[in-house]
């Protein structure tokens, strides 16, 4: 069976929908309130939402420097390719 970009897109879409469904179930099962303190601000959130926000913050802490490094490597590769001409 041949794989195409469209078939890969559909697989990705279905997997994303399943992950979102699991996240929704997790949040709905963890609705107990928890007090959150951050840089002097205090608030109350459902436990599932607080954990989801913490996970998103963790992903951003990894993605932002990673993106910067990818940009550096692309520029270096482009400069190397230009010198080779």
Residue 34 near residue 45 (C-beta atoms within 8 A):
yes
Q: Long-range contacts for 33-37 (Cβ within 8 Å, ≥24 apart)?
A: none
Span 51-85, pLDDT tens digits: 888 888 899 999 999 999 999 999 998 888 777 66
Span 1-30, pLDDT tens digits: 677 878 888 888 899 899 989 988 988 888
Helix (H, G, I), strand (E, B) or coil at 25: helix
Query: What's the confidence (pLDDT) of residue 35?
Result: 92
Query: What's the confidence (pLDDT) of residue 37?
Result: 87
Query: What's the confidence (pLDDT) of residue 81?
Result: 77
Query: What's the confidence (pLDDT) of residue 72?
Result: 92
User: Which H helix or E strand runs over 45?
Assistant: strand 41-46
Residue 66 near residue 83 (C-beta atoms within 8 A):
no
């Amino acid at each position: 069976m041949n794989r195409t970009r469209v078939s890969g897109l559909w697989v990705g879409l279905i997997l994303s929908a399943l992950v979102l469904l699991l996240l929704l179930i997790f949040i709905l099962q963890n609705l107990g309130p928890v007090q959150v303190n951050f840089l002097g601000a205090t608030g109350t959130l459902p436990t599932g939402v607080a954990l989801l926000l913490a996970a998103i913050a963790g992903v951003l802490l990894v993605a932002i420097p990673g993106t910067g490094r990818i940009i550096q490597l692309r520029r270096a590769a482009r400069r190397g390719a230009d010198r080779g001409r």
